[in-house]
Amino acid sequence: MRCKIAAKGTGWQSFYLRQTAAKAGAGSDGRDARTVPAPAHREAGQVVKFTTLSVLTLVVCAAAHAQGTFPVTSYGAKCDGTTDDTTHIQAALNAAAAAGGGTVTLPGATCLLNSNHQSSHPWFFYNLHIPSGVTLQGTTGSRLLQGPRGRHAMVSGATYVQNSVLAVGNNYQVVTYNGARFYPLNAITAGNNSVTLSTAGNASHFGVGDVISVYETNPAVSHCDVCATSIVTKVTSSNSSTGVVGLADPLVRTMSTPFIANQTSNTAHDIAVSDLIVQGAQPLSILETYNWTSTNVQYLDDTTIGGGNLDGNIMNTIQHGTWTGNTIDIVPGGTYTWHQEWPQRNSYNNKWSGNTIRAASFGGGEYAGNFTFTGNHFYLEIDGTGGNFALGAKNVKFDSNDVHTVGNQTAAAPWGSIITDVNAPHAYYPYVSNVQITNNTIQCVADGNNCLLLVGHGTVVSGNTITATGSATGINVAYSSAQVTNNTINLGNGIGILLNTLVNPTTVASNTLTGTGRFGIYVRTPPTRDAGGGGAIYNNTITGFAIPLYAPGARLGPTNIPRKNIH
């Protein structure tokens, strides 16, 4: 039986806006802020109201949906590929949310989204908003197709627009976390599952199940845009006598004078999409969401549109995200000129497995942590554009993936790369550590550049097979220490392993290097002391290079002996 639309009304969302100019971008240095200027008459700290993500549709259904299932066809969607289904699908999503959560189902056909709604940002628009507690479930042949009228034209005074097919988050395009009220904490240590309020009584502001964020500074004072964090998680206990607040996840970064905020009202939660194709100018934009799952979804960016209407999927401040069996790509006939970010801006505990991703670059950072990438397939369509795969977070396990270069990464030589542990200014380096790049297959074309560029502290590179052509360097260890062991590196005429500075505790051991270039292992700035201060180079098998091991001027002592290398 069909459900009838009973009434429509306008919803309101209150949030704090920092008085900063709107800007956008992507990368570990935080240039992707979604902030808008506040009205000139606004007092400092005043809450500003905007009409939010969509017009709320109140639905009265004549028949109960068994087991919380809401078919979009019951709400008037035809999914014939020609009729605009936007309003009807949104009605099903809203009905599921009003029922306390549920699964909205799509038929195995194309549902045209040929109308759009403005978000709280004047340049950003969307087709569908998925509320908290709702799963959007497709089946074989399900497609959400953004039509030409589903994209808003360029706004007067704007340099670009964003037209998202799926919007996820209470306010998916404007950062609200920085505007929460922050309370000072005592010093915190990474690995601990609790924090202590400097004023014990302030623990009363945090209840079990609340979502909290732990910041290095108070944004109201530091005016940080992308702010350093230690964790975003849930509260497991709270004691206003002692000031101790228990956390569901351990702290990621040690901080001397941190702050805590309750982000529950700002956070969307428990949202999933599965088994469908999402196609449009920007398939997905998600912000400030806890418990997100994407399974067997094809996110297809229509780059043929042009006209300042393009951007990769936006993924910011996602906690406990699971990404399995998805495809991120462009439509046939498009061009790979866009950067695709993975969850960044204080995202924690995300797992990526069995996904296929094609983009000019793929990366993240912005104080993220606790990520695993296993069994994924990455195709970097770079061809000199300067793109790479940037890991850029703390506690990252990149294991058993395959990475392919399409084209030739020649930009930014000699510091360009196919994969890097950090792609950000030097000030960000201390926030990245414990990156493990293991058991991957890497096909590399990067003349004059690097297959792997390591600049973070203590990065582990082990068990990988790197195959390169031309003049690419296999692994470049720059600025900091690393553990490079048990890798198989097959090169053209480039350097096998380049150590810009042999620092303690760098280890290069048990690698197999084959190539036709001049140097197998090259130490650019070796240690000069007889003992201490250096790493170790040993048990490497080096064949085909004119000079297997080169460390000019080195006075090799007990702790930095290049011993037992096989030439």
pLDDT at 534: 62
Integer angstrom CA distances of residue 400 from 348, 438, 453: 21, 7, 18
pLDDT at 336: 83
pLDDT at 566: 59
pLDDT band at 16 (very low <50, low <70, confident <90, very high): very low
pLDDT at 32 over 50: no
Integer angstrom CA distances of residue 248 from 51, 167, 177, 208: 34, 27, 19, 10
pLDDT digits (tens, 9 = 90+) for 47-64: 333 333 333 333 334 333
Do residues 358 and 382 touch, judged by C-beta distance below 8 A? no
pLDDT at 51: 33
Give the whole-angstrom CA distance, residue 483 versus residue 353. 25
pLDDT at 25 over 70: no
Do residues 302 and 330 touch, judged by C-beta distance below 8 A? yes
pLDDT digits (tens, 9 = 90+) for 170-180: 998 889 999 99
Give the whole-angstrom CA distance, residue 98 versus residue 7. 14
161-165, 490-494, 522-526: range with lowest mean pLDDT: 522-526
pLDDT at 540 over 90: yes
pLDDT at 18 over 60: no
- The residues, any chain, with a CB within 8 Å of residue 201's CB and separated by 6 or more, are 240, 243
pLDDT at 283: 96
Cα 256 to chain centroid, rounded: 26
Strand order in the sheet with 450-454: 339-341, 361-363, 389-390, 417-420, 450-454, 473-477, 497-501, 519-525, 547-550
Residue at token pair 């996602």: 318
User: How many residues belong to the chain?
Assistant: 567
pLDDT digits (tens, 9 = 90+) for 110-123: 999 999 999 988 88
**CA nearest 9: which of 98, 76, 78?**
98
Do residues 166 and 127 touch, judged by C-beta distance below 8 A? yes
pLDDT at 307: 66
Per-position b or e across 439-469, b if 16+ CB within 10 A of its CB: bbebbbbbbbbbbbbbbbbbbbbbebebbbb
137-141, 257-261, 299-303, 310-314: range with lowest mean pLDDT: 310-314
pLDDT at 314 over 70: yes
pLDDT at 27: 37
At 18, which amino acid appears?
R
- CA torsion 276-121-357-106 (nearest 10°) is 0
Give the whole-angstrom CA distance, residue 359 versus residue 378. 8
Q: Strand, helix or coil at 221? A: helix
pLDDT digits (tens, 9 = 90+) for 192-229: 999 999 999 999 999 999 999 999 999 999 999 999 99
pLDDT at 399 over 60: yes
User: Which is more confident, 411 or 517?
Assistant: 517
pLDDT band at 303 (very low <50, low <70, confident <90, very high): confident
Residue at token pair 């290095």: 216
Give the whole-angstrom CA distance, residue 253 versus residue 231. 8
At 451, which amino acid appears?
C
Q: What angle is formed at CA 350 by the lines to CA 346 and CA 353, rounded to 5 degrees?
A: 150
Task: Judge if the upstream peptide bond of residue 343 is cis by omega within 30 degrees of 0.
Answer: no
In this prediction, residues 79-90 reach a mean pLDDT of: 98
In this prediction, residues 321-344 reach a mean pLDDT of: 90
Domain ranges for the chain, please list them: 181-262, 376-563
Give the whole-angstrom CA distance, residue 98 versus residue 462. 50
In this prediction, residues 128-147 reach a mean pLDDT of: 98
Residue at token pair 């993240």: 364
Give the whole-angstrom CA distance, residue 88 versus residue 520. 63
- The residues, any chain, with a CB within 8 Å of residue 389's CB and separated by 6 or more, are 361, 362, 363, 378, 380, 403, 418, 419, 420
pLDDT at 348 over 70: yes
pLDDT at 46: 31
pLDDT at 23: 29
Provide, rounded to the nearest whole percent, the portion of the chain with pLDDT above 70: 81
Per-position b or e across 521-554, b if 16+ CB within 10 A of its CB: bbbbebbeeeeeebbbbeebebebbeebbbbeeb
Which structure tokens are listed for 95? 């009905």
pLDDT at 226: 94
- For the chain, the average pLDDT equals 85
Return the DSSP state at 267.
Answer: -
- The residues, any chain, with a CB within 8 Å of residue 532's CB and separated by 6 or more, are 504, 557, 559
pLDDT at 24: 31
Give the whole-angstrom CA distance, residue 335 versus residue 338. 8
pLDDT at 385: 67
